[in-house]
Structure 1
Amino acid sequence: MDRAVARGSREFVELGGVRLDLDLSDRRLGTGSTSLSVERIATGRGWVDGFRHASQTTEAHGRLHARVTESLRAAAFGGETAKDLALDMAIRDLDTHSVEAIGRLASATCGLQNLGADEGAALRTALRTLLARGFSVEVPQLAGTLGGSDVNGALTLEARQAPSAPVELGSALRASGRLAVAESGLAAGRLQKALALGLRPTADGALSAGFDFIEGVLHANGQAVQGGTLQAGLSGAELALGAFFGAGRPALLAGAAPVAPDGKPAAAPRAAEARPALPAPASASLPKVLALPPVSLAPAAFQGGLGVGVQRGG
């Protein structure tokens, strides 16, 4: 598509040079390759030039693995500018049957909206299994120039396989990350904000920060973070997830089938090892952080009606 324009009573969107390629071996699982490129996106608030997206998804031994790369040549919104942005992300070891079940539910319910009782139970079962089997997300590269400052970062998140249920978030999750920002392009006000957020000057004239979260202990810039805020946050998340899964106790995977490190069902824990039950939150609805809105590549419909024009090259 060479050019498309959508106008509403309050908004304007122009797309130019849109190319979409799909080569899927299994549409249910999304295995195969996809690519999307958009030469120009313009609205009343800003513009984007040279957006590229590509993904490759494979399945082996009951696990899904995906790699996503994205790049952006230049953009400007709300007085902020960006150029030469690049993102490289890998998602590994997602449980195939769980992803397939969630995909079927999303298709049947218009993006997991207004689920029936049986559908809600099926979604909780799929999510429990997905988390119990473990997975990892790695962003080895996040780079570009924002507002005149070069930015470079990386992030790793691992949800380890759960040998039994319930599982504590502190021991189930591992994460690490780093961020470096060139100090030379920062205005004085932004420099102070960066320092307040924890970035520290380095010998090469940059600002950097890093963190590691292992076995429930958080280190920021090489120093252990003290205090009960982190533990309180973990406990609150465990309670919310336990309520969503119908556990009524701070368990991420309460009710999920135990999984051994080799991926096979493991023996259930002895009664003496069970953790004491805690009161459940007043509501067992899906936590807001887990809400999954529908995703569409199409421009959103605007209030007041749309007028759409499409031009194709000769």
Structure 2
Amino acid sequence: MAAKKSPANRYYSGPPSDHFDGALFFNPDGRPPARFADLLKWQFGGGRAKWPATWPSPYPQAKPDARIEGEALRLTMVGHASLLIQTAGLNILTDPVWSERSSPFTFAGPKRVNAPGIAFVDLPRIDLVLVSHNHYDHLDLATLKRLKESHDPLVITPLGNDAIVGRAVPGMRLGAHDWGDRIDAGKGTAIHVEPAHHWSARGSRDRRMALWAGFVIEAAGGKIYFAGDTGFHDGINYRLMAEKHGGFRLAILPIGAYEPRWFMAPQHQNPEEAVQGMKLCNAAHAAGCHWGTFQLTDEPIDEPAMKLEEALAVEDVQPERFRAMRPGEVWDVPAT
């Protein structure tokens, strides 16, 4: 169903809640996105590491099986926040981006430095797509159009994002949901839409008009937490996930796009915070994403993986439990 619109919000209108003031969404007890003046200070302040023009993955492009049945769980990294989750006979994509750039333009903006870990033509039949929010490195309309034409999946996304997708991809099957919603995905599997500490915008005049979220996949083999794009937020949402869901077989957590901290900390956690989050939400295993494909921030390309290794040692977490995944990498996640 298409989202309602109003003059105050071009994507959504609805009753106020603890994260919607009647016009815009916000992070409860959290921090809003930085001001435009802070953006200019960062952009012109120097300190950005130079990434290589290409940084090929050590893994070849994967050719996934058609289905992974039962309680088995297979995770394949495509790149950035795009991953293929296969379990319980379902094929689920998170924040799919196959475009060359994370940008509103095809000729400018952050360009990928490695090929997608799965060639688009090698995708198995996709059943569900989880889109966490509307930033260009997560909601890629060109990819959604291709998925509609080739797979016709159901897209599950937070409130307001359906207005963006529905206008650009007519006929796409869409479900727009609020934090706390539970969706029956079939085959004994459910999707929960959960809080994240972030923000949204496609341009300069639609800040916070669409909601952002993480997701929990409740399947026969255990629960999977895809945190989306999020700041650590004092661990509040991680504690909430542990309280609500008990724990997770796998957490998919962002570990990149975190420097400079004075600007990025409210919206993007760093590797040390990701390890704390893994522990707080009681995840047996974790996959690090949101790094090494598009340069969005200042840190060197390989720093997130190195910082993750250091943080795991400090927190006495075995390194095989938390992988900084590279495109094409396939992980058969152990049962818990």
> TM-score of the superposition, structure 2-length normalised?
0.23
Higher RCO structure, 1 or 2 (CA under 8 Å, sep 6+): 2
- Structure with more strand by fraction: 1
> TM-score of the superposition, structure 1-length normalised?
0.24
